[in-house]
Amino acid sequence: MASKGKVRGVSGQYPLVQNVTVTEGGTANMTCRVEYNDNTSLQWSNPAQQTLFFGDKKALRDNRIELVRASWAELTISISDVTLSDEGFYTCSLFTMPVRTAKAYLTVLGVPEKPEINGLTNPAMEGDYITLTCITQGSKPAADLRWFRNEKEVKGAKEVNASGKTFTVWSSLQLHVDRNDDGVAYTCRVDHVALAQAPQQATEVLEVHYAPRVEIIKSNTVPQEGQYLKLECVSRGNPSPDPVLWTKDGGELPDLDRIIVEGRELTFTSLNKTDNGTYRCEASNHLGKNSAEYVLYVYDVPTTLPPSTTPPQHPIPPDPTVQLGTHASDPTVTGSRDPNALGQHGTDHALIGGVVAVVVFVTLCLIIVLGRYLARHKGTYLTNEAKGADDAPDADTAIINAEGNHAHAEEKKEYFI
């Protein structure tokens, strides 16, 4: 890689050159031009003021330096396999009276070495603190180091140390290890101008050992008699906790053909009430053990099926002998229901309420009539026969006595308004 920056001189008998930037190991082309030259020779010399070429004549025995083009107006040379020691000011001289010169600076980029990651201990234990260190050498200017956790960038602590013309760069990353770091790839990448096309990087995959965690997954939410049920013991740990141990109510599982244990799964082919109990799954590795429990209660099979929520595909036609109103107003005919219509229970309640109201009304009317009747017939009354009955020995005598007393009837009259 090489780039140029133009260094201007005065037009005419002055040389024109350009600054050049090249990656270490690359090739640098140094060009010197003159706009108006009267057959005067051009010369290139290195930072040590050693002549490289005078016109088309090579002056320094260095196989890396070659002539590209030589004329009265231009002198171009190439330097291959450039090293950091080649960096500096190169001088183009035009041999006029006096000699006129122009200087071009050759910048050599130091390519950083492939990074290395240190400090990784595999396997790491959950809860450990570890420090990953990434180092790269030989960069010029100093390289930049970046950390990635899988594809996500994380921040590290950077340190730069100069070593001659190049730099050594460190970057550290501190981790508090947990089970989520197991299998995670930590990558250290070198960013540098000399690596624009292909960045250097190193990757390490972290292995973490941790104690297991257990949970039980059931295949049926409401187990009923006669149904199939599978309990799966999901255990996560490193190393893998295999096999797992199933128990019931703190003891061994009953030896029944209906209960099958396959690996992590406990299967009931046909449930009954004797299967009720607490089932426990336990998993362990060298770092510890963990367990989970499931309380099984087998429900009775429902005696009646719940009403179907799916409407019938073909509505049943109504009985014409009991149909009231027109066909258009009957929801069984139109295929739809009025959401505001009363149901069967609403009709019964209305009928009962009407009967009660009639009974109450009739009762009130009877009470009023009876009260008025009693008020109009208040007092004590005797018939003519009763008036002489007290002293009469027989009915005939009582009638005679009553007629005799009729003259005094005016004294016992009552008047009603």
Report DSSP state, residue 301: P
Q: Which of 61, 58, 2 has the alpha carbon at shortest distance from 27? A: 2
Helices (H) and strands (E) in the chain, counts: 4, 26
Q: Which of 201, 226, 230 has the alpha carbon at shortest distance from 217? A: 230
Torsion of CA 318, 324, 329, 332, to 10 degrees: -20
**Residue 373, both tokens:** 């009747």
Q: Which of 101, 83, 105 has the alpha carbon at shortest distance from 92? A: 101
Burial class of 52 by CB neighbour count within 10 A (0 to 12, 13 to 18, 19+): buried
User: What is the C-alpha to C-alpha distance for residues 200 and 156, in angstroms, rounded to an integer?
Assistant: 17
Stated as kind and residue range, the H or E segment containing 387 is helix 384-387
pLDDT tens across the length of the chain (417 residues): 555 554 444 445 789 999 999 999 999 999 999 987 777 889 999 999 999 999 999 999 899 999 999 988 899 999 999 999 999 999 999 988 888 999 999 999 999 999 999 999 889 999 999 999 999 999 999 999 999 999 899 999 999 999 889 999 999 999 999 999 999 999 999 999 998 777 789 999 999 999 999 999 999 889 999 999 999 999 999 999 888 999 999 999 988 788 999 989 999 999 999 999 999 999 999 999 999 999 999 999 887 555 554 554 544 444 433 333 333 333 333 333 443 333 444 456 778 888 888 899 899 888 988 888 887 765 544 444 455 555 556 555 555 555 555 444 444 444 443
User: What is the C-alpha to C-alpha distance for residues 238 and 182, in angstroms, rounded to an integer?
Assistant: 9
Cross-strand bridge partners of residue 81: none
pLDDT at 400: 59
User: What is the C-alpha to C-alpha distance for residues 214 and 205, in angstroms, rounded to an integer?
Assistant: 26
Q: Which of 76, 184, 79 has the alpha carbon at shortest distance from 130? A: 184
pLDDT at 378: 56
User: What is the C-alpha to C-alpha distance for residues 377 and 379, in angstroms, rounded to an integer?
Assistant: 7
pTM: 0.60
pLDDT at 230: 95
The answer to whether 136 and 113 are in contact (CB under 8 A) is: yes
Peptide linkage before 311 cis (omega within 30 of 0): no
Q: Which residue reads 């790839």 in tokens? A: 185
User: What is the C-alpha to C-alpha distance for residues 114 and 116, in angstroms, rounded to an integer?
Assistant: 7
